[in-house]
Chains A and B, each alone.
Chain A
Amino acid sequence: MNSTAVIRVKDLKKYFPVRKGVFGRTVGHVHAVDGVSFDINEVETLGLVGESGCGKSTVGRTLIRLLEPTSGSIYLGNDELTHLHSKDLRPHRKKMQMIFQDPFASLDPRMTARDIVGELLDVHDGLTRKEKDRRVAELFERVGLRSNQMDNYPHEFSGGQRQRLGIARALSLRPQVIICDEPVSALDVSIQAQVVNLLAELQAELGLSYLFISHDLAVVKHISHRVAIMYLGRIVEIGTRRDLFENPQHPYTESLLSAVPIPDPKARRKVRVLQGDVPSPINRPKGCHFHTRCPYATDRCEREDPVMHDITSSHAVACHLR
């Protein structure tokens, strides 16, 4: 694998127990993430795409250890983070930060913008008040906020500005990796572009790597270098942006791409609409998880689980037909 990988994830699994009855007996598991592996290289954006409920946010939250992985391993640089606990994990926390989807829920309504952006500095770097103020002012400028807004409260900012505050907070510890969990999904389209461009600028300036979680293929295509497609807790296809958008291999990727709206009312094309719903992640179909909705499904797909295999050196897919 590539030696410049900042994040390596191997066979990551996260199951949530389903409990029932008076004694909370475990009657099954939600297989939210079921054996996901990927690398993110330096100054690279990996787009992680899937329908809602496919486990893409769980990947992000497990990666940053807000959730305990059920099994698998997570490497940040050369350090394995999977089994570190609070105290040992703390120095590594600096290197990986997160940006959240909902700019209303991700900022404490009772804190000023200055305190929100600066609060993690208190935890890690023993800065004096002056140094901290200077650093917060720098961060404000960097994300395109005016420093005279530092003493405002979150409700006094617009959605886009609030998202910039979240970005400033994530940048405060000078991380290497930022997990962006649907960072623009809650924003107006016009604001989405500004925030996505800001993220791209910051990446170039600061050498950041992103895991960019989204369900919006247009945004993912714009910002990602590589893209992974998730379905029911597994990655079904991963490759460079060009691989995926120009030469999709998995039938699921194909149908996702055909569902992206084209901003041209005259354009006509064949839309491959998927039949049925996403199966339950508790009782998943046997064989290939996608066979219940796949237009090309064969007997083999019903029996046998497809294995991830390389199509080219940069492009891999989990499908029997390719």
Chain B
Amino acid sequence: MTDISATELIREGPHRRTQTFRKLIAIPQAVYGLVVIGITLFAAIFAPWIAPFDPESMDFDNLLVGISESHWLGSDQMGRDTLSRLISGAQIALIVSLGAVGIGVLIGVPLGLISVYFRGFIDDVIMRFMDSLVVFPSLLIAVGLAAAMGGSLISVILAIGIANVPWMARVIRSQGLSIREMDYVAAAEAGGMSHIRIIVRHILPNSVSPVIVQSTLSMGYAVLTEAALGFIGVGIQPPTPTWGNMLQQAFPMLDQQPLLSIVPGIAIFLLVLAFNFLGDALRDVLDPRLKGVIH
């Protein structure tokens, strides 16, 4: 057997991580992604010290101002500072995307691994269940959860997270299928190694790279979904500022102060693009065979 997968795997060496990183930063899109995500992360972590105003305090003397010295990105119809709200929204955006992808990975990856390792009936049951989850878009799950438990941070994370589960399971399963057939897995089985140990030591490490790629892309998608949920009003409820509900509240003011819509819109655009660029670049670096495949 001298197929590509085997030779590709063998070429990888001990300094794989530093090599991967070097290859990654040679791609301009990846650098853009890392920089934008880095800035967002920095803003989110240090929000209380960076934000010029309290994001929720109102100032009725400065309603709907444009770009000005005190309000760099203007203020909304209640006089709240847009820059401060944007920074606060960055926290929510990152918490939601990390939380949602975390749920997807923590549930989807073990299910996918069990599926690929035991095959047969177990595989059929798990994967058909995953297929049935794919049928419900995260938007629908979110609306249901918001109706059941109110639109909160938890319900948004859960909704997007549940929608992520089947994708993570599918991605690791499809990679794991070829790893499952490798002789080193057979050698471990013949050596009496336990199922869990074989999965954790051999199958997981060798099939994890597409999960990393998928996670990065899903984070971008989570930011977008959170914004969509906020915009239609089933996401995190005001007054907590999120990029989604900022857009929703800015919408009626579109002709009076378009800046209010433009700022969160651009933020969403830049961050989603950053995650997608980084995800694509990671895919090119980690899994060169998939280069150019449309997600």
- Residue of B whose beta carbon sits closest to that of A103: B183
Is the pair B10, A120 in contact by a Cβ cutoff of 8 Å?
Answer: no
Q: Is A75 an interface residue (CB 8 A)?
A: no
Is the pair A98, B190 in contact by a Cβ cutoff of 8 Å?
Answer: yes
A-contacting residues, B155-196, CB 8 Å? 182-184, 186-195
B280 CB to nearest chain A CB (Å): 24
Which residues of B are found within 8 Å of A154, using beta-carbon distances?
Answer: 10
Is the pair B191, A173 in contact by a Cβ cutoff of 8 Å?
Answer: yes
Q: Is B295 an interface residue (CB 8 A)?
A: no
Q: Given A105-B182, A123-B197: A110 and B6 within 8 A (CB)?
A: no
Q: How far is the CA of A111 from the CA of B10 in the complex (A)?
A: 11
Which residues of B are found within 8 Å of A133, using beta-carbon distances?
Answer: none
- Residue of A whose beta carbon sits closest to that of B14: A153
Is the pair A169, B187 in contact by a Cβ cutoff of 8 Å?
Answer: yes
Which residues of A are found within 8 Å of B205, using beta-carbon distances?
Answer: 108, 110
Q: Given A110-B205, A110-B206, A153-B13: A120 and B191 within 8 A (CB)?
A: yes
Q: How far is the CA of A123 from the CA of B186 in the complex (A)?
A: 15
B194 CB to nearest chain A CB (Å): 8
Q: How far is the CA of A131 from the CA of B1 in the complex (A)?
A: 36
Is the pair A106, B187 in contact by a Cβ cutoff of 8 Å?
Answer: yes
Q: Is A166 an interface residue (CB 8 A)?
A: yes
Q: How far is the CA of A194 from the CA of B28 in the complex (A)?
A: 50
Is the pair A109, B190 in contact by a Cβ cutoff of 8 Å?
Answer: no
Which residues of A are found within 8 Å of B54, using beta-carbon distances?
Answer: none
Q: Is A102 an interface residue (CB 8 A)?
A: yes
A122 CB to nearest chain B CB (Å): 8
Count residues of chain A with CB under 8 A from any CB of chain B.
Answer: 38
Q: How far is the CA of A106 from the CA of B189 in the complex (A)?
A: 12
Is the pair A109, B191 in contact by a Cβ cutoff of 8 Å?
Answer: no
Produce 1/0 per residue, A80-119, CB < 8 A to B.
0000001001110110111011101111111100001001
Is the pair A66, B186 in contact by a Cβ cutoff of 8 Å?
Answer: yes
Q: Is A286 an interface residue (CB 8 A)?
A: no
| From A94, A116, A166, contact of B192 by CB (8 A) | A94
Is the pair B192, A105 in contact by a Cβ cutoff of 8 Å?
Answer: no
Is the pair B10, A109 in contact by a Cβ cutoff of 8 Å?
Answer: yes
Which residues of A are found within 8 Å of B2, using beta-carbon distances?
Answer: 104
| From B10, B193, B202, contact of A123 by CB (8 A) | B193
Q: Is B289 an interface residue (CB 8 A)?
A: no
Is the pair A106, B184 in contact by a Cβ cutoff of 8 Å?
Answer: yes
- Residue of A whose beta carbon sits closest to that of B124: A24
Is the pair A110, B190 in contact by a Cβ cutoff of 8 Å?
Answer: no
Is the pair B187, A100 in contact by a Cβ cutoff of 8 Å?
Answer: yes
Is the pair A107, B184 in contact by a Cβ cutoff of 8 Å?
Answer: yes
Produce 1/0 per residue, B248-286, CB < 8 A to A.
000000000000000000000000000000000000000
Q: Is A124 an interface residue (CB 8 A)?
A: yes
Is the pair B10, A155 in contact by a Cβ cutoff of 8 Å?
Answer: yes
Q: How far is the CA of A111 from the CA of B187 in the complex (A)?
A: 14
A163 CB to nearest chain B CB (Å): 12
B-contacting residues, A149-207, CB 8 Å? 152-156, 166, 169-170, 173
Q: Is B59 an interface residue (CB 8 A)?
A: no
Q: How far is the CA of A111 from the CA of B185 in the complex (A)?
A: 13
Q: Given A104-B2, A105-B1, A109-B206: A98 and B192 within 8 A (CB)?
A: no
Q: How far is the CA of A100 from the CA of B201 in the complex (A)?
A: 20
| From A86, A91, A111, A119, contact of B191 by CB (8 A) | A119
Produce 1/0 per residue, A278-293, CB < 8 A to B.
0000000000000000
Which residues of B are found within 8 Å of A136, using beta-carbon distances?
Answer: none
Q: Is B12 an interface residue (CB 8 A)?
A: yes
| From A65, A107, A108, A155, contact of B13 by CB (8 A) | A155
Q: How far is the CA of A111 from the CA of B190 in the complex (A)?
A: 18
Q: Given A104-B10, A108-B206, A156-B13: A93 and B187 within 8 A (CB)?
A: no
| From B6, B12, B189, B192, contact of A104 by CB (8 A) | B6
| 6 closest Cβ pairs, A-B complex | A93-B192, A106-B183, A120-B191, A155-B10, A100-B183, A109-B9
Enumerate chain A interface residues (CB-CB to B < 8 A): 61, 64-66, 86, 89-91, 93-94, 96-98, 100-102, 104-111, 116, 119-120, 123-124, 152-156, 166, 169-170, 173
Can you report 6 residue pairs joining A to B where beta carbons are below 8 Å apart?
A: A90-B192, A120-B192, A124-B192, A155-B11, A156-B13, A169-B191
Enumerate chain B interface residues (CB-CB to A < 8 A): 1-2, 6-7, 9-14, 182-184, 186-195, 197, 201-202, 205-206
- Please give 6 more A-B residue pairs, beta carbons under 8 A apart, in addition to A106-B182, A154-B10: A97-B190, A110-B206, A119-B201, A120-B188, A120-B193, A123-B192
